[in-house]
Structure 1
């Protein structure tokens, strides 16, 4: 039977954008897993969600904070678009601890996680003819959101041989008088890198020279376990204006709670004076906000989570990163040029010329899922073809099992 001609149809632009998201890409790879055929349980190292493992659990302080918020009956109401003041104030005080200036409640805007924050900022900055600078490799949600934005995207390289530092000469060559911002992710997703203070100052000076703002994605703030400390980009906000993104998701191991923020870390006040802060508020008035009961739990979470909890999570991440990096050395045809120092990820390079019947990184991930029930994230979606992103935030036994299976896969597909 022929369909009646209706006046509506699918939005192919939105479909194409969704195809670039982590969720969509991983769902397609998971379709290839059949544990009954492989006889091996599925191992998901494709995204940063360690909460499924008993060793990575949130603090009881966090759980108690939510229960207290619910039982208080104070947070069953609608919240302002920017978020409730107690939560905003607590986040401002939390971020101010490591800044040479103090943030106020008016500098903080609550979001439904970092993905919502990214969507809001790209909308706010999307002036006619404007362009924005993204890192390569990148977190794929930036690419997905920008594909349905009028903003032109230009990619600068992160340099694996220099601990994934920003190619500043490349940034200067890309930027023009229509460039509005540069995006940084520190600690790095997908690279697991951590920027030094010296490098961050050079980035800020470059942004000032170019007249652009810095969007500093700090979702993995303080989750560092190498020799470099985490330094907020807002420390250099007196050089160039900085918008900082953060969440409860990773540091507190509660990604499903979807509580994030946009912070104006700009002591000179450029972003308030130019109206960017007001535009963020207006945009948030048009969109959904995080559940008020979770917002109500934020002050308790920020003030009472013991430092020992964070130290233990970082210890577990370091042990997992070290184990993964060492086991990777035993796997032929793959390499990790930079040992992870932060976040939950490493970028792994594939030597496809040594593998038979593996076309590219996507094909590698699809066949690995089918044959070994292992889920990895293909690098093409992060703008780096023939690499894969691996999350090492897992139980050590899982890492041992996963790396053993990846090795078996590579040996099986080795060219004779």
Structure 2
């Protein structure tokens, strides 16, 4: 949005180009605290906010803050691969729980509970979810917190897609259901404000955890870019018109790709509830999703990802981004349809 770009220019013109505190400038931490407090109905203080170099730094720093070698992390999957990757990087053990299509890719509380052991330190959830486009139900999040509180483990909730949600639904935040003591909330500016290259996210956590997250960032990236932080204040303060306009367009593209995907022989898909990803089931074609993705790229000229890029539980699926024009969606879907008809039917 233009007002964010103008705020960045203003900060540059004013010479706001030096280092900032590792946890971010106070003004932005305060703005994020106000936003989270209002949207989640929970009182969040600026000292409980860390501004990170993208939400991915938030994932990295949060897991490092909690994990020792051998500790387990329960991860509903298929999901964003950084959770499993960072867990392994710090010597932890990822324990995956399959997200099932018939449940709208919302996890079963019973299956989460059965995956928790005495070695479990965290449960990582992503709602709305990448790659599935699924949204966790309130009941499933409540069931996760029943386990977390009983076992005294933390829920790390990545809610980066919180605004890109369709059909009049409202985002249900883990922080609104759980409690601050057992929650680390991740978010950022990349998706809702299309600020992917600006690299700015946030972590909301109890003060002692937030201090550890800030120390990880201090000793890796130092701090987020100063002028970007001032631009982010403008993003939160608004206007938000461009955000809602973008979400409306994404919903129209979601409707289009839903119809297109389900017209392809051997493909089926439930309608994504959120994000800008379609996650069609292609298991009826009888070919590994990685091989199918390669074939579509090399022979049909369509770039997408196999479900296994998001965990072994993604076998039999493809992830298609519809963060492109409706015209391109139609072209891409036609290429896939023609290819599938020629090769498999």
Normalised TM-score (structure 2): 0.94
Query: In the alignment, which residue of structure 2 is the partner of 1:377?
Result: 305
Query: In the alignment, which residue of structure 1 is the partner of 2:264?
Result: 331
Deviation at 1:227, TM superposition (A): 4.4
In the alignment, the residues of structure 2 paired with residue 329 and residue 220 of structure 1 have an alpha-carbon distance, to the nearest angstrom, of 24
Contact kept in structure 1, 2:161 and 2:191, CA below 8 Å:
yes
In the alignment, the residues of structure 2 paired with residue 335 and residue 81 of structure 1 have an alpha-carbon distance, to the nearest angstrom, of 46
Query: In the alignment, which residue of structure 1 is the partner of 2:90?
Result: 149
Contact kept in structure 1, 2:142 and 2:178, CA below 8 Å:
no
Structure 1 stretches of at least 4 aligned residues deviating more than 6 Å after TM superposition: none
Aligned length: 342
| Counterparts in 2 of 1:394 and 1:406: CA distance versus 1, 3 Å | same
| Counterparts in 2 of 1:299 and 1:363: CA distance versus 1, 3 Å | same
- Whose helix fraction is larger, Structure 1's or Structure 2's? 2
In the alignment, the residues of structure 2 paired with residue 204 and residue 146 of structure 1 have an alpha-carbon distance, to the nearest angstrom, of 21
The structure with the larger Rg is 1
Deviations 1:334-390 (A, max 9, x none): 111x211111112111135x46xxx41111111111112111011112111121111
Q: Does 1:116 align with 2:41?
A: no
Deviation at 1:112, TM superposition (A): 1.1
- 2:197 maps to which of 240, 253, 256: 256
SS in 2 for 1:250: coil
Contact kept in structure 2, 1:208 and 1:240, CA below 8 Å:
no
Alignment of 1:235-250 (within 5 A): 235-238=176-179, 241-250=182-191
SS in 2 for 1:413: helix
Normalised TM-score (structure 1): 0.79
Query: In the alignment, which residue of structure 2 is the partner of 1:63?
Result: 5
- 1:297 maps to which of 192, 208, 231: 231
Give the root-mean-square deviation of aligned CA atoms: 1.6
- 2:245 maps to which of 290, 307, 312: 312
Query: In the alignment, which residue of structure 1 is the partner of 2:296?
Result: 368
In the alignment, the residues of structure 2 paired with residue 159 and residue 380 of structure 1 have an alpha-carbon distance, to the nearest angstrom, of 14
**Which blocks of at least 5 consecutive residues in structure 1 are unaligned?**
1-58, 265-270
Deviation at 1:240, TM superposition (A): 6.0
Query: In the alignment, which residue of structure 2 is the partner of 1:407?
Result: 337
Query: In the alignment, which residue of structure 2 is the partner of 1:45?
Result: none
SS in 2 for 1:165: coil
Higher RCO (C-alpha under 8 Å, 6+ residues apart): 1
